[in-house]
Amino acid sequence: MHYLKRTWAEISLDNLRLNVENYKKYLGEKTQLLCVVKANCYGHCDDAVVPYLENELGIKWFAVSNVCEAIKLRQDGIKGEILILGYTPFDEAEKLSDYNIIQACTEYDYAVKLSQHSNGKTIRLHVAIDTGMTRIGLRGKVCDICDDIERISSLDNIKVEGIFTHFAVADSNEPDDDKYTKDQSEMIIAVDDELKKRGISLDQCHFLNSAGGVYHYSDKSSLARLGIILYGLMPNPAKALPFKPEPVMSLKSCVSQVKTVEKDVSVSYGRTYKTSDTTKLATITCGYADGYPRALSNVGDVIINGKRAKITGRVCMDQFMCDVTDIDDVKVGDVVTLIGSDGKETITADDIADMTGTIGYEVVCGISQRVPRVIIKDGREIAVFG
């Protein structure tokens, strides 16, 4: 498979399958998977991942951030249900109907605007309930929330099909946070029960996120929104999962030059690193324009020929250097593992997040579009995107 072997990401559909299969073991029969595929599948390539989920793994539900992402999936041939979790401008309301997309509704006034801009077409909604995330959704007493949902349901060309909420601390180890999550669950279940008493029976009531599905499962949630675990990362690295998620993305680069320099030689911008002895340096063809964090300067490691090499100096836009003094036979063209495994060594996106003060989500989402995605299935390359 031809692609520019400068810096590239390998996407393992085999690991994706394992994560889906393992996660489903913790869900009851009443709960379907809704795979979160926003942000180009968290940087993992929606062109490859979403068709595989639908056509080979039988996933029927998908969640995206915005209408552009939703329309792209439809244009790519995706037939399953698509839920937009974020905001859609009112003047795009017709597209929701034209492409058979479900929109998250945050409040009554927003539903009014969608109704007014629907041009007579039916707009499908899942109403967001703010049970404690304080991000989007109806907030207040159960009776008041249900009053608003009744008002929304009565609007012309509006079809309320579900309600949902989002957990704020489902991945926490703290007892107080466990209670907080339980309270969130009980709140939305109470809303659903009250709606039923009023004769409003919705198709969907969902509140489980990735962490919620394994730590706080309830069969009252008709959908489990599988996000970060789908891609093999931990919701919270400090809290063990009941199974080992398999990272779907590996990030690879290569050596472009090897040189030996003397003691007291400054390396890279700002002279933030100086050699303490005669040192063999390798230049790596990746940088922050590829999404490799500049915060790894003088901190991070890479793996070359199965051994770790420390980053020396600042990570540049397109390149950086590392110390390969203790690694034999490093030469131009050698593959460098930035995220992934080589021999007995492994570097995960969560490891990089820990070193740079962020979360694994941001690391994988940050891998830029100029990095080709090489798709791996049954242990071999089957396609390249980008």
Q: Which residues are catalytic?
A: 38, 269
H or E segment to which residue 341 belongs: strand 335-342
Query: Hey, how many other C-beta atoms are within 10 angstroms of the C-beta on 378?
Result: 7
Q: Please, which contacts does 189-196 make with residues 24 or more away whose CB atoms are closer than 8 Å?
A: 189/218, 189/220, 190/142, 191/129, 191/142, 191/145, 191/146, 191/149, 191/163, 192/163, 192/220, 194/142, 194/143, 194/146, 195/146, 195/149, 195/163
Residues near 199 by Cβ (< 8 Å), separated by ≥ 6?
none
| 120 vs 166: CA distance, rounded Å | 31
What tokens does 32 get?
């379907």
Q: Give, in order, the Cα–Cα distances in Å from 129 to each of 150, 154, 180, 202, 334.
A: 14, 18, 15, 14, 52
Q: Give, in order, the Cα–Cα distances in Å from 169 to each of 32, 135, 177, 319, 355.
A: 22, 13, 6, 38, 22
